[in-house]
Amino acid sequence: MTKAIFIRTSFASFHQWPEAPPQVAFLRNLHRHKFNVEVRFSVTEDDRQLEFFMTQAAVNKVLFEKVIPALEKKRTMSCEMLAGLLFSLLEGLRLPVISVSIDEDGENGAIVSA
């Protein structure tokens, strides 16, 4: 049996895809999304090995101090890039991250996993 917890959070920001194909040329322009984030962590115990609120606070700290500023600096970052960056940063904190998913407006998104 494997055990995991997950936390969810979100943030609003802008990005663009300058090389978008003609069928979705509107994506070449800077556009806003609500980016929804879900992070799964491995646990081995049944009783709050990783406390939800504290873990969510740690994820939000990384998001707001590192990931969102990276997106604001490089507006062409995709969901795959954002999820990969967040995954790497959380691993660097020695958190037992299994996967990071980031979607746009609750519709389409990307998943990065170990």
What CATH number is given to the structural domain containing 92? 3.30.479.10
Domain range enclosing 57: 3-113
- For residue 92, name the pLDDT band (cuts at 50, 70, 90): very high
The model carries a pTM of: 0.95
How many Å is the Cα radius of gyration of the chain? 15
- For residue 17, name the pLDDT band (cuts at 50, 70, 90): very high
- Taking the C-alpha atoms of residue 86 and residue 63, their distance in angstroms, rounded to an integer, is 7
Amino acid at 49: Q
Overall domain count for the chain: 1
* Chain mean position to CA 92: 15
**Packing angle of the helix pair 79-92, 52-62 (nearest 10 deg):** 120
- Taking the C-alpha atoms of residue 31 and residue 82, their distance in angstroms, rounded to an integer, is 16
- For residue 25, name the pLDDT band (cuts at 50, 70, 90): very high
- For residue 55, name the pLDDT band (cuts at 50, 70, 90): very high
